[in-house]
Structure 1
Amino acid sequence: MGRPMTAHVEVMDLVAQMKAAEQAFVLATVVRTVSVTAAKAGAKAIIRPDGTIVAGWIGGGCARGAVLKAAREALADGEPRMVSVQPEDMLAELGVKPGENRDGIRFASNLCPSKGTMDIFVEPVLPHPSLVVFGASPVAMSLAAQARQLGYHVTLAAPSGDLSVVPDADVLVDGFALGELHPAKRFIVVSTQGKGDEAALRAAVATEAAYRAFVGSRRKMAALREKLVAGGVSPEALDHVKAPAGLDLGAITPEEIAMSILAEITVERRRGQRASNFSQGS
């Protein structure tokens, strides 16, 4: 009698550890079973992005393929989903085909001899998105503080001598050599504003990111681009740096400029998730 509860506690302990370590994974929970002996309601499993089940149990191969497919998709768009594994004759009675989605539920066929039904809730758990800010300018400081309030993991990189106040950041890097970074979808903003522009841009284009931007005019960026290309930096890499950073909101103050940049980052961050939400709601 003690084994299922022990297994459940072990899974939830590992969930807490993986969340604290900012690792991406899926928590799959069996919410209903009919005529299934392999797993019962409440059974849980943790699935890594590579498809391995690292803890827990959600039944055998009858449900595994459908759950792993849903797990991959959930990690890609950040949205939870429900999977219902049923015998083919029951799917036919419902008028649905294996692989079809209806009312937010994906139906899959149970080809196992048990011919049971199993509903599994697939929930992605993603690390906080990562914002890397280069510079100690007022815009950089405001960007770090606002991003933290929006749930970003913030790394601020600037020479310590340039900092007049302690920035509101998760990680503070002295200079522009980043080292190992927080493993998540990453956004980079260079807001050096005259203090180490070239070094910061060089580090920014060498770092993997979904978005890179420079706080400064197009003319300033063009001049820096010329110097950096002459110094061996790839022109294609520099072409992916947005300048000036942010949406055109008519921003004037450092706080407003930071807000316009975070608005632009939000558009980029939510792009795939918005499409998913609209398709589910339609």
Structure 2
Amino acid sequence: MTAHVDVMELVSRMRSAEEAFVLATVVRTVAATAAKAGAKAVIRADGTIAAGWIGGGCARGAVLNAARDALIDGQSRLVSVQPENLLAELGVQPGESRDGVRFAKNACPSKGTMDIFIEPMLPRPSLVILGASPVAIALSELARRFGFHVTAAAPAADFAEAPDADAVFDGFDIPAGTTTDHFIVVSTQSKGDEKALRAALGANAAYRGFVGSRKKIVSLKTKLAAEGMDPAALDAVKAPAGLDLGAITPDEIALSILAEIIELRRHGKRDTSARPSS
């Protein structure tokens, strides 16, 4: 633990770096406790306390367990560390949750009570858009408004103007994704379809969508399968990408694709291959 590091300064740096962590804040104390209301700590994804102070061993285990769970489900929670006799009066067991509060036992001699708010700070979901088509441009603009970290990748000459994206790559060589919230959409529309699809299949992603006709994607999948590409990976590409909204214009198609990605994120689904094509 590095208590000398300014907690809020570290929070700002870690958020800018798109690093997952938890901000734990003591919101209430009763009787003697090591930390007082307002104390904060930054907890990394590996369970280490990077900065701050939330008390000693009396609360540490419960806070770290709650932090781990918060990073998994993305939900904030309140942890109440209380002596065993007070838990008994409430009729709850250590580890039990009630009305949004998780209870833990304080076995330290101080017998104090601490309530700690656990707030996960997760990286923005990552959307990589391969191509510079009108749909790609519209999707980039829309996704950023919904809080996505957008990477636009296409040959520089294909962009009529600079795309509205957090990062722009010349060509289809894209950085590998390392999170479950990593989505890729191929919207090249006849300008490098095969190369872009190969790049999408070679990157880690929770979702891969292809903007184009059924005839085109069938032809591409057949060709890549004949060259030894994994059939399961090819089948998992959602094509045409997007929910069936009857979309026609680039903006409407972009909306249908983003809606499909948001549905996937919120419902925790990872296999779109069995869903009907739009």
Give TM-score scaled by structure 2 length. 0.91
Counterparts of 1:182 and 1:207, CA distance in 2 = 9
Unaligned runs of at least 5 residues, structure 2: 270-278
Residue 208 (structure 2) pairs with residue 223 (structure 1):
no
SS in 2 for 1:124: strand
Q: Could you tell me how far apart the structure 2 residues matched to 1:72 and 1:83 are?
A: 13
Paired with 1:271 and 1:256, the residues of 2 have a C-alpha distance of 22
Using a 3 Å threshold, how does the CA distance of structure 1 residues 47 and 254 change in structure 2: closer, same or farther? same
1:83 and 1:122 in contact (8 A); partners too: yes
Gaps of 5+ in 1: 1-6, 274-282
- 1:4-153 aligned at under 5 Å gives the runs 10-153=6-149
The alignment covers a number of residue pairs equal to 268
Counterpart of 2:38 in 1: which secondary structure? coil
Indicate how the Cα distance of structure 1 residues 272 and 110 shifts in structure 2: closer, same or farther if over 3 A, else same.
farther
Report the alpha carbon displacement of residue 263 of structure 1 after superposing the two structures with TM: 0.4
Alpha-carbon separation, structure 1, partners of 2:200 and 2:25: 40
Contact 1:22 1:183 in 2 (8 A): no
- The residue that corresponds to 1:279 in the other structure is none
Partner of 1:235: 231
What SS does the aligned partner of 2:9 have? helix
Query: What residue in structure 2 maps to residue 280 of structure 1?
Result: none
What is the deviation of 1:8?
A: 8.5
Query: SS at 1:242's partner residue?
Result: coil
What secondary structure sits across from 1:241 in the alignment? coil
- Deviation string 1:1-44 (CA, Å, 9 cap, x unpaired) is xxxxxx68811111111111111110000111122332111111
Shift of 1:52: 0.8
Question: Aligned letter for 1:230?
Answer: A
- For residue 133 of structure 1, report the CA deviation from its aligned partner: 0.2
Q: Distance in 2 between matches of 1:171 and 1:94?
A: 52
Distance 2:151 2:165 in 1: 6
- Deviation, 1:180, is 5.8
2:106–2:112 contact (8 Å) kept in structure 1: yes
Cα RMSD of the aligned pairs, angstroms, is 1.9
- CA contact 1:86–1:110 (8 Å) conserved in 2: yes
Looking at structure 1, the residues matched to 166 and 35 of structure 2 have their Cα atoms a distance apart, in angstroms, of 41
Contact kept in structure 2, 1:8 and 1:43, CA below 8 Å: no
**TM norm structure 1:** 0.90
